[in-house]
Amino acid sequence: MRQKQIKGLDLKELADICLMQDVPLFRSKQIYRWMYRHHIDDISKMNNIPESLRDYLKENYIINTLEIENIQESKCEDTKKILFKTHDGKLIESVSMIDKKLHTVCISSQVGCSVDCQFCATGIMGFKRNLTSGEILDQVIEISKLRGKAITNIVYMGMGEPFLNYNEVMKSADIIHDHNGMNLGRNRITISTSGILPKIKQFIDEKRGYKLAVSLNATDDKTRTEIIPINKKWNIQMLIHELEKYPVDKKNMVMLEYVLLKGINDSIEDAEKLSEYANYLHCKVNIIPFNDIGNRYKRPDEDTINEFIAILHKNQKYYQTLVRWSKGLDIDAACGQLSTNTL
Ligand code: SAH
Ligand code: SF4
């Protein structure tokens, strides 16, 4: 019989196993804590679990879902890009960035991506499959062990579109947040979407409380559809209308991400329009100067970037502006540069 993944199961699913095996329910919390709190990588090491239950688990489940295949280190900052291999031979990438007290980990939610954004290396590689919640969590667990430094922030901004793998992503985020799991505050977990409207709705309705980032990347529908094809289905007005419902809270504002592409979305009119949207939504704006992926898109020159940012600052009433000069550029670990070529 093919073994299932125990990593990724939530408390309820572990409790179901305990019920089936006729062992007390408190065992489920012990197993849960061994995996997500203590990061144990061998079921035999769960030393407060009766041997018979451990044997049952070992026979039926695997605990490790990923293997580290390669690690690249940036020469410029304390950033590492980690290449993981799944059991079925798929490759995914995660990035760990340490900056003083902050340790931010950027994780993948899918192998490849089906959204097909023209400026993104993951989009160009196409969609292979969704990751399981166990595979999402193992990126965090393996990096935490590798770095030996507590993780302070998790961003779902690696490979894939998190909202096209909604259930597994939410399950993993809930375990990262849970006080018996990794115990990270809700506002330290950010989920970034290219704008999958029905799932943004669901996320807001369910009051998930994780930070939401939306990749706007253009201020008119013609341009946005050109670079993010799903804009045909869910356009800018529809997104803004939905984001109005996001509760305005200083600690947890929506973030509009905006990748600056030379000659495409970097004009003065774009900057003016972007500040209008942002003042309307009371949100954060994150400007990401494009990172090269060797295709037709280019990063605007520095003067254009600075002018664009100056307009945002000038118009800033009800929003905040951040500029993300990406980390890990020398190892292709910056936003949008993650891509792996396997079957
Ligand atoms: N699929 C999700 C999350 C992963 S991409 C999303 O699209 O939001 C994370 C961010 O990187 C997005 O804001 C995306 O617009 C941006 N990005 C993609 N390719 C990029 C590139 N080549 N340079 C800079 N940012 C890029
Ligand atoms: Fe997918 Fe995000 Fe890349 Fe678009 S930018 S292709 S949604 S990973």
pLDDT digits (tens, 9 = 90+) for 117-159: 999 999 999 999 999 999 999 999 999 999 999 999 999 999 9
Distance 38 CA to ligand 2 centre (A): 33
Across the range 79-107, mean pLDDT stands at: 97
Kindly state the tokens that stand for 333: 């670990």
> Is it the case that residue 1 has pLDDT exceeding 60?
no
Kindly state the tokens that stand for 234: 């869910």
Distance 120 CA to ligand 1 centre (A): 6
> Is it the case that residue 107 has pLDDT exceeding 90?
yes
Distance 335 CA to ligand 1 centre (A): 5
Active site annotation includes 335: yes
Task: Of 88-92, 158-162, 242-246, give the lowest mean pLDDT range.
Answer: 242-246
122 ligand 2 Cβ < 6 A:
yes
Of all protein residues, the one whose alpha carbon is nearest to atom 19 of ligand 1 is: 336
Active site annotation includes 93: yes
Q: What is the pLDDT of residue 3?
A: 84
CA–CA dist 260, 258 (Å, integer)? 6
pLDDT-above-90 percentage for the chain:
90
Nearest to 292 by CA among 251, 255, 261, 253: 261
Q: What is the CA radius of gyration of the chain?
A: 21
Alpha-carbon separation of residue 32 from 66, 166, 172, 176 (angstroms): 18, 22, 13, 12
CA–CA dist 61, 63 (Å, integer)? 6
Q: Which residues of 12-44 are buried (b: 16+ CB within 10 A; e: fewer)?
A: eebbebbeeeebeeebbebbbebbbeeebeebe
pLDDT digits (tens, 9 = 90+) for 271-308: 999 999 999 999 999 999 999 999 999 999 999 999 99
The angle that helices 197-205 and 166-177 make with each other, rounded to 10 degrees, is 30
> Is it the case that residue 254 has pLDDT exceeding 70?
yes
Kindly state the tokens that stand for 289: 């100067």
- Overall pTM surpassing 0.85 (yes/no): yes
Of all protein residues, the one whose alpha carbon is nearest to atom 4 of ligand 1 is: 157
For the CA of 124, the nearest atom of ligand 2: 6
